[in-house]
Structure 1
Amino acid sequence: MKPQRFRLGRFTTVIVFGVIIAIPLLYLLSGSLMSAQEIVQYPPRLMPSEPVWDNFVQAIQYLKPRTILNTFIFVCGVLVLQLAICLPAGFALAKIPFRGAAVVLAIFVVPMFMPTNLLLIPTYVVTFKLGLVGTFWGLILPVAGQASLGVLLFRQFFATLPPGLIDAGRLDGANWLQIFTRISLPLAKPIIASYSVVTFLTAWNMYIWPLLAAPGEDTKVLTIALAPLAGGQFTFIPPSVTFAAAVIGMLPVLVVFVVFQKWFTKGVAGSGLE
């Protein structure tokens, strides 16, 4: 009887907190479909009397398709480059014995203890000296280079793989590249999915660095375009259109999480070995 009560109490607690967390998101979606008059009514309305889909049309016109495309270029560029750095580096540190491995590992650990804001100015100066400010390379490369956490994460995962797998590959005549691509990477799908979701979300929500490194219209990303709306700087744009713009900015992250939810859960819960 007690286990059932405990289970019921646990489920009730999860549901209550889930509803509390979901209320702002549900109101955001509801507000994006309200008219300009309904969204400023008092007491506030919870549901629109009739969905106003034109809010999304106006939001896209304000955000501009080019800005949305720029955001995907930035986020996907960061994700691909970080995976290209983190996966082989983590595998090498975990499985390939070489002199100075401990020193290299320490070098990757040090940046994790440094505040991000401390590195912002020197990173911008280097980007400016290289003439990359206002370009996609200047926007992507400094963020993609912040891969210390990813290297250590993948290193820890590859270190948990049974040594017998590596030894079997070596006995069959496979070189390190073949062992990495044919044995280790297929087993790393859950942790790759987890890291990809977190990296995608982090890059999508970045504001300070895109503001500094990509000030022009050709490289503007969504967070820069949404900031004036959040601050109420454009009084001619109705709040309902602002809500719709926020929903547009949220949807890609939500879709990515839903698609990779299975692998994300596996990556968080365990090593991914089945």
Structure 2
Amino acid sequence: MRSTSRVLRTAAIYVVLLAGAVITLAPFLLSAMTAFKTPQQFAQQPALAAPDPWTVENIVTLFAGPAGFGRALGVTVLMAAFILVFQIVFSIMAAYAFARVDFPGREALFWVYLATLMVPAVVLVVPLYLMMVQLGLRDTFWGLVLPFSFGSPYAIFLLREYFRGIPQDLVDAARLDGASTLDILVEVVVPLSRPIIATLVLITAVSQWNSFLWPLVITSGDTWRVTTVATASLQSQYNGNWTVVMTATTLAIVPLVVLFLVFPKHLVRSITISGFR
């Protein structure tokens, strides 16, 4: 009886997991299938039916038409790469200062800075927008990236806790060998912190690639439009042509799928640490 109940419990767990997987993957499968259908096929065939015949007409329309989706992809790559590099660099430097450098008010300043995590991001949109307007950076690349380039409270918190776990003896030994603070950070701390840095790289890359609200607010034309905003505008631009919209959606998630396939362990670790909040 005990073995039977265990088998039934295991079977029930797998059924629930399978149902969850189907519910999660169905929208992505629907998007990918629709991307290779004509509008007529989309209207006449079942939603999850394979395209018959397959067509790349939607991709041609998306890149050759007035949507400017190719430029939006390029802007998104440039924005995400810029913010990723600068946010990780500044977060590492700030986290090391909070973890290993003694200066007056260090703990108080850290907790005050960390308290900004409690402020909803949407509350900061209007002040940031007014600042960018005053600086003349509205609808520019710098206005798009600067507010998120100088570190992240969440990243600094994680890195600080990880840096504090590095044995002090290693830092002291490097200092006795004549290493400066920057040398210790670059040659000792960073190499020992590769797992957490790789995790933060993935978290930052995914969050910036999916960024929508700030690019929508700070940009107004096609020049610095990102993929999320471009995809949203397609719904009105193509007047309900869902095959083109689904093509844009599918292309927008391809880089994230590639990240998952190339770095599955780090991505799972990032989900465990962050919960993708």
Structure 1 length as normaliser, TM-score? 0.87
- 1:176 maps to which of 154, 173, 181: 181
- 2:219 maps to which of 191, 202, 214: 214
For 2:126 and 2:251, locate their aligned partners in 1 and report how far apart those are by CA, in whole Å. Answer: 31
Residue pair 1:34, 1:51 contacting (<8 A) in 2 also: yes
Matched residue, 1:242: 245
For 1:4 and 1:91, locate their aligned partners in 2 and report how far apart those are by CA, in whole Å. Answer: 50
How many percent of aligned residue pairs carry the same amino acid?
28
- 2:53 maps to which of 47, 50, 54: 50
CA deviation after TM superposition for structure 1 residue 4, in Å? 6.9
Residue aligned with 2:44, SS? coil
Matched residue, 1:153: 158
CA deviation after TM superposition for structure 1 residue 123, in Å? 0.8
Task: Return the letter of the residue paired with 1:234.
Answer: Y
Matched residue, 1:123: 128
Residue pair 1:95, 1:159 contacting (<8 A) in 2 also: yes
1:196 aligns with 2:210: no
Residue aligned with 1:40, SS? helix
Moved more, 162-171 or 174-183: 162-171
For 1:10 and 1:164, locate their aligned partners in 2 and report how far apart those are by CA, in whole Å. Answer: 47
CA deviation after TM superposition for structure 1 residue 105, in Å? 0.3
- 2:43 maps to which of 37, 40, 43: 40
Gaps (5+ residues) in structure 1? none
Matched residue, 1:140: 145
For 1:269 and 1:118, locate their aligned partners in 2 and report how far apart those are by CA, in whole Å. Answer: 27
| CA RMSD of superposed structures (Å) | 2.4
Structure 1 residues 38 and 85, CA gap change in structure 2 (3 angstroms): same
For 1:185 and 1:158, locate their aligned partners in 2 and report how far apart those are by CA, in whole Å. Answer: 9
Q: How many residues were matched structurally?
A: 268
- 1:257 maps to which of 239, 256, 260: 260
Where in structure 1 do 4 or more consecutive aligned residues deviate above 4 Å? 1-12, 266-270
Residue aligned with 1:51, SS? coil
Structure 2 length as normaliser, TM-score? 0.87
